[in-house]
């Protein structure tokens, strides 16, 4: 069974490796996924001790939430569900209080539940992260009504973490954090001070840290955002990181172990689209890098980004 960690001051216990459900039911990317396979993957994750499932309305055009709701029937009291609001299923952003309530009720319906454990503002603009924005009173009201248990935001950078934690009462953050994107760790002092639960998204840098891409890789769909120069630069980074690989530890396992070496991190949520991928991801639970290895990777990122002044594009 997977080791558990406390999700900050929420006191929820979550599996160190969770189930990132962005690819669940996605029929137009990565070769597609049938409903039957989606259900099978969720059930396999449950059997291995995973209790943390992360989704959003815009994942697979609402199918991710729907499939999770179907697969988790009869297991609701055994799992922690994270969902989000702000990104509309058909595209576009809306962080108004009115849309928040509509989005929440729609998510509850698709997930076949009367509460969501963690509800997050989904990569919002900076103005939304300030506690004066109208979503924060709405989140508190939804919590008081029992429709959500805890709330916070999904963000990418240290300055967004600081704005959220200095101006709101967020209890959970979902952070873009991996070996090549370490900016958020520069705000971990505030995370520790406020005992905020941290879930790390994009832990394998959209597949690069799985070791399956190289300088000749071609991308389509959402991943065609990388031009040829960026593909070559990322491929060079992967070459630089080969010292992490050993006979019994793959690059992806070590990349997840790097994140789990931080006490501030409650869980990692790699995407899952096959049983083999699920097994590889979950095998990283219970592991972490040594302090020396972690320090080496932090220094590597400092050199790569000129101490965070020249970040890699997502």
Portion of the chain with pLDDT greater than 70, in percent: 98
Decide if 15 contacts 260 (C-beta within 8 A). Answer: no
Instruction: Give 87's DSSP letter.
Output: B
Whether residue 226 is predicted with pLDDT greater than 90 in this model: the reply is no
The Cα-based distances of 225 to 7, 98, 231, 257 in angstroms read 33, 32, 10, 27
Mean pLDDT of 299-309: 97
Within 10 angstroms of residue 224's Cβ, the number of other Cβ atoms is 9
The encoded tokens of residue 43 equal: 């059930």
* pLDDT the model gives residue 194: 98
Map out the domains of the chain with their CATH numbers. Answer: 4-208+251-304 (3.20.20.100)
Within 10 angstroms of residue 306's Cβ, the number of other Cβ atoms is 9
Whether residue 61 is predicted with pLDDT greater than 90 in this model: the reply is no
41 contacts: CB under 8 Å, gap ≥ 6: 19, 24, 272, 273, 274, 275, 278
* pLDDT the model gives residue 23: 85
Whether residue 93 is predicted with pLDDT greater than 70 in this model: the reply is yes
Listing DSSP states for 50-75 in one string gives --EEE--TTGGGGHHHHHHHHHTTT-
Decide if 68 contacts 55 (C-beta within 8 A). Answer: yes
Return the axis-axis angle of helices 97-110 and 135-144, rounded to nearest 10°.
40
Mean pLDDT of the chain: 94
* pLDDT the model gives residue 223: 75
Backbone phi, psi, residue 167, to 5°: -125, -5
* pLDDT the model gives residue 219: 84
CA atoms within 13 A on the CB side of 13: 6
Whether residue 312 is predicted with pLDDT greater than 90 in this model: the reply is yes
Order of all β-strands in the sheet with 148-155: 19-20, 52-54, 80-85, 116-122, 148-155, 172-176, 197-201, 267-268
Using one digit for the tens of pLDDT, what is the confidence trace for 15-46?
999 999 988 877 655 456 889 999 999 999 99
* pLDDT the model gives residue 11: 87
Return the axis-axis angle of helices 63-71 and 35-47, rounded to nearest 10°.
50
Residue whose pair of structure tokens reads 């932090």 in the numeric block? 298
Q: How far is CA 56 from the centre of its chain?
A: 11
Mean pLDDT of 111-123: 98
Mean pLDDT of 161-181: 98
Return the axis-axis angle of helices 251-260 and 291-304, rounded to nearest 10°.
100
Portion of the chain with pLDDT greater than 90, in percent: 85
* pLDDT the model gives residue 224: 78
Return the axis-axis angle of helices 251-260 and 275-282, rounded to nearest 10°.
50
Distance, in Å, from the CA atom of 18 to the CA atom of 174, rounded to the nearest integer, reads: 12
Among left, alpha and beta (phi > 0; psi -120 to 50; other), residue 174 is beta
């Amino acid at each position: 069974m997977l080791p558990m960690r406390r999700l900050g001051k929420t006191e929820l216990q979550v599996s160190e490796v969770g189930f990132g459900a962005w690819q669940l039911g996605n029929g137009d990317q990565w070769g597609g996924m049938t409903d039957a396979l989606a259900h099978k993957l969720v059930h396999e994750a449950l059997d291995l001790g995973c209790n943390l499932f992360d989704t959003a309305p815009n994942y697979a055009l609402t199918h991710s939430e729907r499939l999770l709701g179907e697969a988790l029937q009869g297991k609701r009291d055994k799992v922690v569900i994270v969902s989000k609001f702000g990104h509309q299923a058909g595209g576009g952003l809306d962080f108004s209080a009115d849309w928040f309530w509509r989005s929440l009720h729609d998510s509850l319906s698709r997930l076949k539940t009367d509460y969501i454990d963690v509800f997050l503002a989904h990569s919002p603009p900076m103005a939304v992260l300030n506690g004066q924005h109208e979503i924060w009173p709405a989140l508190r009201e939804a919590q008081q009504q029992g429709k959500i248990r805890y709330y916070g935001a999904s963000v990418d950078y240290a300055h967004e973490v600081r704005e959220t934690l200095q101006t709101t009462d967020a209890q959970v953050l979902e952070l873009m954090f991996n070996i090549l994107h370490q900016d958020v760790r520069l705000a971990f002092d505030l995370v520790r001070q406020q005992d905020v639960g941290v879930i790390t998204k994009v832990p394998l840098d959209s597949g690069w840290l799985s070791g399956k891409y190289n300088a000749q890789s071609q991308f389509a769909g959402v991943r065609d955002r990388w031009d040829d120069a960026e593909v070559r630069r990322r491929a060079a980074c992967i070459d630089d990181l080969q010292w992490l690989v050993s006979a019994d530890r793959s690059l992806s396992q070590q990349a997840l172990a790097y994140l789990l070496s931080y006490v501030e991190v409650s869980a990692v949520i790699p995407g899952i689209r096959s049983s083999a991928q699920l097994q590889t991801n979950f095998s990283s639970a219970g592991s972490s890098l040594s302090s020396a290895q972690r320090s080496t990777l932090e220094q590597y990122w400092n050199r790569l980004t000129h101490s965070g002044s020249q970040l890699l594009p997502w």
